Amino acid sequence: MSKKAIILIDDFYQDMEVWYPYYRLVEAGLDVQIVGKEANQTYRGKCGYPAVSHSAAKDVKGTDFDLVVIPGGWAPDKMRLCKEMVAIVKDAHDAGKVIASICHGGWMLASADILKGKTATSYIAIKDDVVNAGATYVDAEVHVDGNLVTSRKPDDLPAFMREILSLMGV
C-alpha cells in the first residue's frame, strides 16, 4: 500500500512550491491529492498556473494521510481562514504525521498552533509570526524538528524535498 500525501491549495499559491513537491512525491510512489476549500475547484498560482483540487478540506482528515505539504505564496493567508484546512494540519501533526511547510506556509503552522517549542524556518517576511507562535527561528534552507519540515523559498525546494522523502522512507 502506497503512502498518502496531500498538498493544500488556494489562490495565489507559489507555483513551484506546489508542482515541484507534487511531481517529486508522485515520482517517489506516493498517492498525492490536492486539497482546497472546495473539490474540483480551479485555483490559480501567483504566475497564473491552474491547479484543480481533488478534494474539499471538509471531506479530508489529516490523520488519513502520511504527509501534509503546505506551499507558500499568498495562499496560506487564505487557507488559514478555513477552519477545516487548519484542522487538517493540527490533526495530522498531533497524530505524528509529517508536516512540510515552505515560504509563507508557516502562517498555517501558526494558525494550527503547532509551533510552540519547535525550531523552524520560513520566508523572512513572516519570521515574526513564526517566533510569536512560539518557535525558534533559524535562517536555513531546510530545518527538520521531529515531524516538522520547514524551508524558506523556492530555491530551497531540492533540500526541502530531500528531507521530506527521507522522513517518508522513500
H helical segments located in 50-137: 75-79, 83-94, 106-111, 127-132
How far is Cα 95 from Cα 16, in angstroms, rounded to an integer? 28
Concerning whether 104 is annotated as a catalytic residue, the answer is yes
Note the pLDDT of residue 147.
97
Residue 1 reports pLDDT greater than 80: no
pTM: 0.97
Residues 55-87 have pLDDT tens digits of: 999 999 999 999 999 999 999 999 999 999 999
Mean pLDDT score, 136-152: 98
Number of domains in the chain: 1
Among residues 54, 93, 104, 143, the one annotated as catalytic is: 104
Residue range 26-44, pLDDT digits in tens: 999 999 999 999 999 999 9
Q: What's 151's domain CATH number?
A: 3.40.50.880
Question: Which domain, by its residues, includes 145?
Answer: 4-168
Mean pLDDT of 88-105: 98
